[in-house]
């Protein structure tokens, strides 16, 4: 697993969220409450959907791609910066998905792989007492397979 997890707070404004995603060149992040407990996930798709519902976009949000850890293209960064939303009033908690796809830190590789297959997830948060301590991806699992072959 990767022990570095970039998270946002649920009381972050959507405008701050957009700046955070652009700065870190990611498409989404886990959401924590004030106490640091995981309460959901948020992505550029959520920003686009919220803006579309409010009439801020002149086109559907199809140009956004969902997924943590994938690098934003230069065009996606430009478009995200250019979009005019009421992002100062809208908070992450208003647009996030209140579901967290996670496994406890003591989960076995088999349990992680099974959870990914069952839920069609490419990434799972690794948690300890409702707090993110890492993230594991299908790439991490493939890396283990390659190590076993050598």
Between residues 24 and 85, which one has the greater pLDDT? 24
Q: Say if residue 43 is exposed, middle or buried (CB neighbours under 10 Å; 0-12, 13-18, 19+).
A: buried
Name which of 111, 82, 63, 104 is nearest 22 in CA terms.
Answer: 82
Q: What is the pLDDT of residue 28?
A: 86
Q: What is the pLDDT of residue 126?
A: 94
- Stretch 50-55: mean pLDDT, rounded? 70
Overall pTM > 0.85: no
Domains of the chain, by residue range, sit at 8-149
The CATH homologous superfamily to which domain 8-149 belongs is: CBS-domain (3.10.580.10)
Reported as a single tens digit per residue, the pLDDT across 56-109 is 544 334 334 344 445 666 776 666 655 544 456 789 999 999 998 999 999 999
SS3 48: helix
Reported as a single tens digit per residue, the pLDDT across 93-149 is 999 999 989 999 999 999 999 999 999 988 899 999 888 999 998 889 999 888 876
């Amino acid at each position: 697993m990767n022990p570095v997890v970039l998270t946002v707070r649920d009381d972050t404004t959507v405008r701050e969220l957009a700046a955070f995603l652009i700065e870190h060149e990611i498409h989404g992040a886990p959401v924590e409450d004030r106490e640091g407990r995981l309460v959901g996930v948020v992505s550029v798709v959520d920003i686009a959907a919220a803006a579309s519902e409010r009439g801020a976009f002149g086109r559907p949000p199809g140009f956004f791609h969902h997924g943590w850890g994938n690098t934003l293209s230069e065009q996606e960064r430009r478009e995200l910066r250019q979009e005019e939303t009421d992002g100062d009033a809208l908070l992450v908690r208003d647009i996030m998905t209140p579901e967290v796809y996670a496994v406890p830190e003591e989960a076995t590789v088999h349990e992680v792989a099974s959870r990914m297959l069952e839920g069609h997830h490419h990434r799972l948060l690794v948690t300890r007492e409702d707090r993110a301590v890492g993230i594991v991806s299908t790439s991490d699992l493939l890396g283990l397979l390659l190590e076993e072959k050598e």
